[in-house]
Structure 1
Amino acid sequence: MDATCDLQVDVNGEEIFFVHKNIISSYCGKIRKLFDKSKGVTTNLKVILHGFPGGPGSFELVSRFCYNNGKIVINPYNAHRLLCAAYYLEMNEMISGSHNLLEQTKKSIEEIKFWSWPELLSALRNSIDLVPMSSSSQVLQKCLDSIVARLVFTSETSPSCPSSSSPESSGLRLSTDSKSTESLRSGLLRSTWWFEDLVNILTPNLVKLLVKSIILHKFDHGVTSRFLFYYQKSRFFNANSDEKREIIETIIDSLSLLDQTSVSCKSLFWILRVALNLNVKKIHRNILERMIGSQLDQATLDSLLVPSPHGSNYLYDVNLVLQFVKHFLTTKCGPGVPISELKKAARLIDSYVAEVAPDPRLKPCKFLALVKALPESARESYDDIYHAIDIYLQVHTGLSDEEKTSIFNSLDYTKLSSESCNHLTQNDKCPPRFATLALKAQQFKLENLFRGMDVQKRFILPPHELVATDEGMHEQVVIYAEQVVPYEGKEDIVIENEKMKAHLEGMQWRVVELEKVCRKMQTQMTKILKSKLSRQTSAKSLPRLCS
């Protein structure tokens, strides 16, 4: 061994350096303390460094600093390595009036905002290699903040395409005008130029830190969501199942931090299907369900038809849809929420119920839970639900009377059309008392219709008569109306149903006749008004007589 090199330094078991003890220890407080504890030992000196940040490459930089009297060129490409090494070796003392390495690297890193984009990327790579050192984590966060600040500055100084609300909208609805099309395309490229630079550097953990910094700096959430989907697709190519699961869970966590209007419902369903195949943790699945549920009114029937989990007895994952509805009601049924969104979701769920109704393995309790998942105020009509019930009963022929009663109790008979009521009264799978309810509901609706039209019901002889005068139209409408005796349980229910059915059909026929009368009245009124206007015009055109 050279007499001047009296110390061996083993760095992480990877490489051994032969250095001068006095030179190294004069700058490295940690090594100096080791020799202070072992006084008297002068030969075969060896120091083993475990977990040295940056490995042999970083120690070589430190050696250069020590042998060059505490001087070294610090730049974005080595600042992170030198900083972490300085922390590890406790190089924080002043030697011969020179600044210590720790202070010099800190001062250099403070200038990070002036570094170029390639320098920032290099610093980011170096800091990733040095994690989990706490000192590296601090610099790493500064590096990410500087990158986001650069993105914000670029987006503000360069015109870009309008912010999109969803990742797949990057296709853009381009105008047929060639200049407009080219402008939008170039705008899209300007907003996503940084994707490729970061996608191969960032680990899943760093993606989360990046998104948090983006939110802090108020960078465009729509562009951010596009980056997250781009990252997921790019990193999936060479990833194994565990790596894919980590990536998709990172994407879910990151998307949940963004404004939900920046992520489309279609994209969330796509992530959901990937997540289900990878069997992600329940906490991440719940996050995804909540995000989809908040946008349920924007979903499509095809998206809802998610196959049931492996080993389930039913065809589609009904429990998943019920969770969507639960989250939708939690987020959408507060004050000030448009009723139109609630009704749109109801139409979607009604279509879903009709789609899953033919599944022979769908239990009555699950079917009923779907039907009753939304409040009655969400539906203007129960025709689709009745149609789904009819399909369900045709497939599930072994239902008990109690189960049928529960299903038919879920209908609001006042919101059934006359066609559905007629079908229900002839449906042999429907318990008789529900047919009675349907008939009474239709009778009530027709009576309200008559009252709304201010029709005078009298037991006089036909026909009705129209009388036209200059002052308007007078009508006497004659309608035969029988006395309807409400059912009180004293007569046989079948006979009562037949009577009410006949009465309903008669009233419906009379409504048709009434509509004809109204149309005839409108025609007559139009003629009278035209005649009156014609006479007034003729009178005004006559010359005045001389007095």
Structure 2
Amino acid sequence: MVVCCDLEVDVNGEETFLLDKETICSFSGRLSRLFGKSASAKRNKVIFHDFPGGAGNFELISRFCYNNGEIDINPSNISLLYSAARFMEMNDSVSGNCNLLEKTAKAVEEIEYWTWSDLLVALKHGQDLQQVAASSGVLERCLDSLVGRLVTNNEASPCASTSSPDSPRFRLSGDTKSVENSKHGFSRAAWWFEDLSVLSPNMIEMLIKSVVSKKFDHAIIGRFLVYYQKSKFHIASSDEKHKVLEIVIDMLYTLDSNSISCRSLFGILRVVLNLNISKSSRSKLESMIGSQLDEATLDNLLIPSPHGTSYLYDVNLVLKFLKAFLHGDRQLSPMRTKKVGSLMDLYIAEVAPDPCLKSSKFLALITTLPDSARDSCDELYHAIDIYLEVHAGLCEEEKMKICCALNYKKLSTEAYIRISRNAKFASESTAQALTSRQLKLKNFQQGANYNETKGKAKRDEAGEQKLDISAENEKLREHLQGMQCRVMELEQVCKKMQSQMAKFVKSKAAAGHTTPRLMPRFCS
């Protein structure tokens, strides 16, 4: 039998096919319309620039035509066949029984009988043709079937025999001995992580949206997304890494705020810092970290500053975390707020020795949290002391702003004594500290006197003889007297310090400069 090759088809510039025009046109409405009823023996040429599936898929379609409309439709080619049949308009033929679109539609109806491996194969081969295949319903049906099995059996795992694409049936087993993935260290709820990690970021996005809509456990979804990001980064190109990160972050953002650990979020952040992802995705990641800032550690926050900047740590990023924590959706209990307050005191002390840290940024670190976040300001005073020591060249206005940000009412007695002798603090701030301390002592003494008078009145009304001051009140009185003596000492120190400050200002103006101080070591 002589085969006529009167049609030349260039497929996407990949390969050129020589075919029998009559055979191909009998199955393709697109080519049939193009050539009409022309019986010219002259060879014709057609160029396709966007044939779905490329040259390999066109060869598959050609075999279908030369085999009189007979072809094996299976999970690995169903999406390819449908997309090509739609492109070539193969919804009718001369024989009338070779409608390829109809054949693929019938195969889709049997998806519910496919094995787990069949579903994975169909999704993997169809993801490159996502837009066309999605319109056919193939991907949607595959995803629905796969998600349905995950939701129904989220605590089971497929038998070892189903890990092969040739497995005849999909079986679930509750017997832990049959859990093949246990050798990889996965929990039973995570048996499907490795299987689905082969899918593209776009397909994962579709999958996650589907499982979320089915009320699937958000904690398991969060763990899978972290696993997917790590597994993909071993083989992904730079552009693919951007896509993977953005999809993972965007999907994590749709989950409950406690569905992923703070540690995992900081792990993703370390990767993000080396890649230029979209501002939207980065903002979402910062918001998620901020909402769990009370679970962070000091090491998490010590993030190096961006390339090209002079300061040591990325203070701006930590300030974004703080704002996200204060304005997030999660309820701010006093315990959570105080945990962040303690963490920030450690962080502020760590960044204070940085000679390039601007006073405005340092002040923002001190003042962003509410006053209720700290029961004591001793640690904050220590950090301010370090900062003023290193930044001796600050103007009086900047120094005053920093000193006034300290709540002197929350300083211990020892801190009061140290601050009164600290020449780096502005004299007005020291006076404020003493005034605050005096007011606290006065209120304390008035309360003690009131309690003592009230106790005496009750005893007199009962006709009892006049009692001496109790041992407890005696101790209180002695304590008050001791504190009053300290206040008097502090007042004297304050006067001396004000006098010394005045002399210091005059000598500074005369000298025109001060002797540089040694920079303290970084806190460990």
> TM-score if structure 2 supplies the norm length?
0.77
Partner of 1:31: 31
Per the alignment, residue 340 of structure 2 pairs with 345
Q: CA, structure 1 residues 475+147, in 2 after alignment: closer, same or farther (shift >3 Å)?
A: farther
Do 1:7 and 1:21's aligned partners in 2 also have CA atoms closer than 8 Å? yes
> Conserved in 2, the CA contact under 8 Å of 1:84 and 1:135?
no
Task: Provide the residue aligned with 1:198 in structure 2.
Answer: 196
Counterpart for residue 40 of structure 2: 41
Give the corresponding residue for 1:395.
390
Which residue number corresponds to residue 533 of structure 1?
Answer: none
The 10-residue stretch of structure 1 (18-27 or 364-373) with the greater mean CA deviation from structure 2: 18-27
Determine the C-alpha separation between the residues in 1 that align with 2:322 and 2:131.
42
Contact 1:84 1:136 in 2 (8 A): no
Q: Deviations over 1:471-514 (max 9, x none)?
A: 999443675999xx9xxxxxxx97594599xxxxxxxxxxxxxx
Contact 1:296-1:325 at 8 Å conserved across structures: yes
1:88-107 pair list within 5 angstroms:
88-93=87-92, 96-98=95-97, 100-107=99-106
CA distance in structure 1 between the aligned counterparts of 2:413 and 2:317, rounded to whole angstroms? 34
Quote how far apart the aligned CAs of 1:402 are.
Answer: 1.2
Q: CA deviation at 1:331?
A: 0.8
Q: Is the 8 A contact 2:286 2:320 kept in 1?
A: yes
One-letter code aligned to 2:31: I
Deviation for aligned residue 1:99: 6.0
Is it true that 1:21 corresponds to 2:21 in the alignment?
yes
Relative contact order, higher structure (CA 8 A, sep 6+):
2
Residue 297 (structure 2) aligns with: 300
1:289 deviates by: 0.9
Q: What is the DSSP-based 3-state SS (H/G/I as helix, E as strand, rest coil) of the residue aligned with 1:278? A: coil
Give the deviation of 1:375 after TM superposition.
1.5
Q: Is the 8 A contact 1:83 1:135 kept in 2?
A: no
Question: Secondary structure at 2:148's aligned position in 1?
Answer: helix
User: What's the CA shift for 1:185?
Assistant: 8.9
CA-CA distance at 1:5 after TM superposition:
5.0
Higher mean alpha-carbon deviation, 316-325 vs 381-390, is at 381-390
RMSD between aligned residues: 3.5
Distance verdict in 2 for CA 1:15–1:425, change over 3 Å: closer
- Partners of 1:82 and 1:474 in 2: how far apart? 104
Equivalent residue of 2:360, what SS?
A: helix
Question: What aligned pairs does 1:322-337 form with structure 2 within 5 A after superposition?
Answer: 322-331=319-328, 337=332
Residue 253 of structure 1 aligns with which residue? 250
Q: Provide the rounded CA distance (Å) in 2 between the counterparts of 1:227 and 1:241.
A: 22
Runs of at least 5 residues in structure 2 that lack an aligned partner in the other structure: 159-176, 454-459, 485-489, 498-524
Query: Does the C-alpha gap of structure 1 residues 6 and 407 become closer, same or farther in structure 2, counting only changes over 3 Å?
Result: closer
2:115 — aligned with what? 116
Give per-residue Cα distances to partners, 1:444-477, cap 9 Å, x unaligned: 222332344445789xxxxxxxx9x999994436
Matched, 1:2 2:2: yes
Distance in 2 between the 1:312 and 1:13 partners? 48
Distance 1:301 1:187, change over 3 A: closer
TM-score if structure 1 supplies the norm length? 0.74
AA partner of residue 47 (structure 1): V
Asked if the contact 2:79/2:133 (under 8 Å) is kept, the reply is no
Give 1:101 deviation, angstroms.
1.3
Secondary structure of 1:2's aligned partner: coil
- State yes or no: 1:243 paired with 2:240: yes
Percent of matched pairs sharing the same residue:
51
Report if the CA contact (8 A) 2:122-2:142 is conserved: yes
- Is 1:425 the counterpart of 2:439? The answer is no
SS of the aligned residue for 1:277 comes to coil
Greater radius of gyration (CA): 1
**Could you report, residue by residue, the CA deviation over 1:176-215 in whole angstroms, capped at 9, with x for unpaired residues?**
xxx9xxxx9999442222222222x222222222222221
Does residue 371 (structure 1) correspond to residue 366 (structure 2)? The answer is: yes
1:407–1:109 CA distance, 2 compared to 1 (3 A): same
Q: Does 1:12 align with 2:12?
A: yes
